Amino acid sequence: MTEPTLAKALIFDFGGVISRTLFETHAQTETTLGLPPGSLTWRGPFDPETDPLWRDMQADRISERDYWYARTRELGEMVGEDWTELSDLVKAVRGNAPSEVIRPEFLDTIAAARAQGVRLAILSNELDLFYGAEFRDKLPFLQDFEVIVDATYTGILKPDPRAYRIVLDKLDLAPGDCVFVDDQDRNIAGAEKVGLRAVPFDVTRPGESYARVRAAAGLQQTGATA
């Protein structure tokens, strides 16, 4: 069996690809916000039946931004706050120690990429909109990413083909030289349309997902992943 050609670049979505999702940290959120255990019942991809709003988003009846704006307003109301920006929620529950929710499988994968000369990039629909610009200063690994394209500023959201081409132009690479990773099927489909080697990320199975990413990129195993 032919081994995959070593990719020249790995392009990551941010969000659940890089960090544990807000669905996974409900208990932490409840503690931080002073809510009774079990207050947060929506589970998104971990239990779609609990989350009609998530199902609407997956069916393209609302956007991902719409989903998180609704959850932000809802949580703000639960703690007596008027949260109108997506970053209001993230700053409240993760602002002091965002590195604690970064996926170890992600860190292992970018370490392997750096060791093998694979370049790193991020393509996000709402990195600073969701997390706030100051969030980046608390994540030292971002210094290893030579390209970060954020639709907070470009206004061009995945799966618009132009979003992927912005990253490719900045890297000066052909689509087939790059592996793209995202946890939304629509964005994977958009990447495939422009010729990227796309890997769908399952937030419910991060270890398996990162094994697929490393295999698709032709990376040799250099760290311990679970």
Q: Which tens digit of pLDDT belongs to each residue from 2-52?
A: 667 899 999 999 989 999 999 999 999 999 999 999 999 999 999 999 999
Domain assignment present for residue 224? The answer is: no
| Mean pLDDT, rounded, for 187-206 | 98
If asked whether residues 91 and 125 sit together in one domain, one would say: no
Q: What is the pLDDT of residue 223?
A: 47
Question: Which residue, 96, 119, 142, sits at the end of a domain?
Answer: 96
If asked whether residues 139 and 210 sit together in one domain, one would say: yes
If asked whether residues 110 and 15 sit together in one domain, one would say: yes
If asked whether residues 84 and 129 sit together in one domain, one would say: no
What pTM, to 2 d.p., does this model score? Answer: 0.89
- From residue 217, give the alpha-carbon distance in Å to each of 9, 15, 22, 26, 48: 8, 20, 28, 33, 31
Domain assignment present for residue 222? The answer is: no
If asked whether residues 84 and 168 sit together in one domain, one would say: no
Say whether pLDDT at 226 is over 50: no
If asked whether residues 69 and 120 sit together in one domain, one would say: no
Strand pairing class (9-12; 178-182): parallel
Structural domain range at position 153: 9-19+102-217
If asked whether residues 123 and 182 sit together in one domain, one would say: yes
Domain assignment present for residue 51? The answer is: yes
Question: Which residue, 52, 69, 96, sits at the end of a domain?
Answer: 96
Please tell me the total count of domains within the chain: 2
Q: What is the pLDDT of residue 2?
A: 60
Cβ-based burial of 153 (10 A; exposed 0-12, middle 13-18, buried ≥19):
exposed
Domain assignment present for residue 84? The answer is: yes
If asked whether residues 31 and 85 sit together in one domain, one would say: yes
The C-alpha atoms of residue 163 and residue 165 are separated, in whole angstroms, by 5
Say whether pLDDT at 151 is over 80: yes
If asked whether residues 199 and 106 sit together in one domain, one would say: yes
If asked whether residues 163 and 112 sit together in one domain, one would say: yes
Name, in order, each residue with C-beta under 8 angstroms of 1's C-beta and a sequence gap of 6 or more: none
Domain assignment present for residue 88? The answer is: yes
Domain assignment present for residue 1? The answer is: no
| Band of pLDDT at residue 98, cut at 50, 70 and 90 | confident
If asked whether residues 108 and 212 sit together in one domain, one would say: yes
If asked whether residues 61 and 110 sit together in one domain, one would say: no
Residue with tokens 């790193």: 120
Domain assignment present for residue 173? The answer is: yes
Domain assignment present for residue 225? The answer is: no
Question: Which residue, 55, 71, 96, sits at the end of a domain?
Answer: 96
Q: What is the CATH number of the domain that holds 107?
A: 3.40.50.1000
